[in-house]
Structure 1
Amino acid sequence: MSDSIASLIATGTKLYLDSVEPSLIDQNLAWGAVGATSNPAIISDIVKGGGLDSRIEALLGEGLDNEAIAWTLTDELVIDAQKKFASIHRETEGNAGWVSFELDPLLEDPTLDMSDSERTAKYIELGKKWSAGHTNRMIKVPASEAGLAALEELAAACVTLNVTLIFTDDQYTRARDAIWRGAQRCGKLDSFKSVYSIFISRIDIYTQEKLPGLSDEAQGTVGILNAKRIWKANQEFWSGKSTKLDQELIFASTGTKNPNDPPTKYVAALAGSDIQTNPPATNQAVVESGIEFSRTVDQMPSKAVQDEIDAALDIQDMHSTLMSEGVDKFVKPQRALLDLIAAKRKELSAT
């Protein structure tokens, strides 16, 4: 483990990896990572690498269609990662060692003729299906209208949840309250765990485009301020609840998108508590940074900067814009994965 990673973990940050690629899991485990997450783009990249061709060929031989193959590969890759983190899950009694499994992003495809209630019912069905029999798998559900409406029933069925695509305090609050209602119905509060993935860098890209008049002090800090405020609200809410395990924020979208920013910008700004799920390149940058990280998660920008941001930011526009973009970033990779498997089908059947 590098000194920089060690100092980050020493602040209280739980380091997770935004990938389930087996060699990256091994590398990040050695660095001190205690969990991971999956999404369609990650699975697509692994399939593109060609290392799963023999498995795809075997599944084709079983007569599976492209969608069934995509989900079988996803399930198997997540299971492989779960096995690698299982000892951490046992040692922490469920506070770490989790791997997140994302439900079908195509449920949010706006071109599909589905009502929100139909989408919600499908989230509940799939959440129960893909969580069954797993001890350290989190089910990832987006904080869309349909996803939020599914959370209470999933939590009531004792499904461990990672709510993703959260950009605003309102999304977080609705998700948290729904899961807490469901958890109390489930009744297994000693093993109850929930996490809430707050997206950060995408907010700063939004403000660069929509709020170019922000001062230099405020521009590029909106995502960080938003995450810190929600982190504080989360701390305050759960401090009064009788849960054995930590109910945590995941700081997500922590890879910098502005080329002028250091790659460790968000890691450094949010060190000290809860979970950072970082892209592989971001964790690599932390290892190589030589930085000695210190706790910053509870250090807020100046009141002047906060007031400037609050006066300029249209929360509803930010929410609708980023959710629309976020859904698109989920739907397109899933369709690309299905197209990739279709291409592999042709390629392998021709040999």
Structure 2
Amino acid sequence: MSKNTVLKLEEFGQSVWLDYISRSIIETGKLKSMIDMGLRGMTSNPSIFNKAVSGAQEYDREIEKAYKSGKTILEIYDDLTVRDIRDAADIFKDVYEKTNGLDGYVSLEINPKLAYNTRKTIEEGKRLYEKVNRPNVMFKVPSTDEGFPAVEELISECINVNITLIFSLQQYEETTKAYFRGLEGLLQKGGELSKVHSVASVFVSRKDTSVDNLIEERLSKEKDKASKSKLESLKGKAGIANSALIYERYLEIFYGDDFRKLQEKGANVQRVLWGSTSTKNPTYSDIKYVTELIAKNTVNTMPENTLSAFLDHGVVKEALTGDALEYHKVINELRGIGIDINDVCRKLLEDGVEAFEESFNSLLNSIEEKSKAL
């Protein structure tokens, strides 16, 4: 029997994680089946938990019991999410052990309201680390200016970190610097570098959505046929091009001289993780952000629909090699029509933090409504 496309991806050198969590997939055995199929990790965020909790009844009894015992809405949220993360981590334990800590992780977002507060992010990361108490959990910290020192501190305490909401090359480089500083700090404390892991989560499809909207604005004003054709040719290219530049830099940093000394002391490569890989534009392939991001020593976290589509009609063929010359041209051409990818990325980071905060508030509201209704 031939291997499915997810197992073929793993064989190639890219791990598939699921960008979704719910109690039902944990308790029905569905998650275990997906692991047997080749799934190697899981990511969550406030939006995902909001959908899971507000749209299902399996949390109701626990919410009712906790509310009647006098717990606050925030405490109930904490208990619900930590339980799901812990239970999922236990199911992934075999993957974690068999891959020597490369895969088998479940990611939990630190309260997004703390995205611009370094000290509180560190405190919350340490608190969650103690509460979850599983070696194969990563704690998500946004790549804000205030988030980078928090990443450094958490890594230096041997706490696994998933740095999230990375859009620009500059953000990515700051992420790697924070990881390096954290490893140096861990070394100074006498810790084992081999015990800590991290991924850098680069969000992709949102860039295309933003850039395509800017291109559409220009198309509506453009009269020249050749110029219109040029603008059309740049649609749907920004996300992959920007990711290719980040992948090129990733290879330079972690597979060149920069990382060698730390690696010799046991440090693990901070893999790039492709996030936001569902297709937002229906005119694009439903697996565009999987097939065009196939690259060695990376992770792709996919929503369930995208994963199903890739299993159905995906083909495993290397897409990114580290040679990003043609992708540099795309970024330069966008700049030539007045679209600066760095400006786009700055806005996306702000919007991303705001969206997660809104989802977090919505999740708390859902829990409160259920608490009062039960």
TM-score computed with the length of structure 2 as normaliser: 0.85
Q: Hey, what does 1:276 align to over in structure 2?
A: 300
Pairs within 5 Å for 1:2-151: 3-22=4-23, 23=25, 25-48=31-54, 49-108=56-115, 116=116, 119-132=117-130, 133-151=133-151
Range moving further from structure 2, 146-155 or 210-219: 210-219
Residue 249 of structure 1 aligns to which amino acid in structure 2? V
Relative to 1, partners in 2 of residues 1:95 and 1:41: Cα closer, same or farther, differing over 3 Å? same
Pairs within 5 Å for 1:1-351: 3-22=4-23, 23=25, 25-48=31-54, 49-108=56-115, 116=116, 119-132=117-130, 133-187=133-187, 188-212=192-216, 213=218, 215-239=231-255, 240=257, 241=259, 242-243=262-263, 244=266, 245-273=268-296, 274-289=298-313, 291-298=314-321, 300=324, 301=326, 304-312=329-337, 313-348=339-374
Partner secondary structure for residue 255 of structure 1: coil
The answer as to whether partners of 1:162 and 1:197 remain within 8 angstroms in 2 is yes
The answer as to whether partners of 2:156 and 2:186 remain within 8 angstroms in 1 is yes
How many equivalent residue pairs? 338
Relative to 1, partners in 2 of residues 1:82 and 1:302: Cα closer, same or farther, differing over 3 Å? closer
TM-score computed with the length of structure 1 as normaliser: 0.91
Range moving further from structure 2, 82-91 or 297-306: 297-306
Partner secondary structure for residue 246 of structure 1: coil
Relative to 1, partners in 2 of residues 1:238 and 1:303: Cα closer, same or farther, differing over 3 Å? closer
What is the Cα deviation at residue 47 of structure 1? 1.4
Gap runs ≥5 in structure 2: 219-229
Partner secondary structure for residue 215 of structure 1: helix
Alpha-carbon distance in 1 for matches of 2:197, 2:293: 21
What is the Cα deviation at residue 304 of structure 1? 4.7
Residue 354 of structure 2 aligns to which amino acid in structure 1? D
Partner secondary structure for residue 208 of structure 2: helix
Partner secondary structure for residue 101 of structure 1: strand
Alpha-carbon distance in 2 for matches of 1:67, 1:105: 13
Q: What fraction of aligned residue pairs are identical, expressed as a percent?
A: 30
The answer as to whether partners of 2:242 and 2:327 remain within 8 angstroms in 1 is no
The answer as to whether partners of 1:17 and 1:28 remain within 8 angstroms in 2 is no
The answer as to whether partners of 1:78 and 1:99 remain within 8 angstroms in 2 is yes
Alpha-carbon distance in 1 for matches of 2:276, 2:136: 22
Relative to 1, partners in 2 of residues 1:237 and 1:302: Cα closer, same or farther, differing over 3 Å? closer
The answer as to whether partners of 2:207 and 2:239 remain within 8 angstroms in 1 is yes
Partner secondary structure for residue 249 of structure 1: strand
Alpha-carbon distance in 2 for matches of 1:135, 1:32: 21
Residue 314 of structure 1 aligns to which amino acid in structure 2? D
Gap runs ≥5 in structure 1: 109-115
Alpha-carbon distance in 2 for matches of 1:176, 1:6: 29
Alpha-carbon distance in 2 for matches of 1:79, 1:223: 33
What is the Cα deviation at residue 316 of structure 1? 3.7
Q: Hey, what does 1:112 align to over in structure 2?
A: none
The answer as to whether partners of 1:254 and 1:277 remain within 8 angstroms in 2 is yes
The answer as to whether partners of 1:140 and 1:161 remain within 8 angstroms in 2 is yes
The answer as to whether partners of 1:19 and 1:25 remain within 8 angstroms in 2 is no
The answer as to whether partners of 1:8 and 1:272 remain within 8 angstroms in 2 is no
The answer as to whether partners of 1:103 and 1:126 remain within 8 angstroms in 2 is yes
The answer as to whether partners of 2:331 and 2:341 remain within 8 angstroms in 1 is no
The answer as to whether partners of 1:66 and 1:341 remain within 8 angstroms in 2 is yes
Residue 43 of structure 2 aligns to which amino acid in structure 1? T
What is the Cα deviation at residue 306 of structure 1? 4.6
Q: Hey, what does 2:224 align to over in structure 1?
A: none
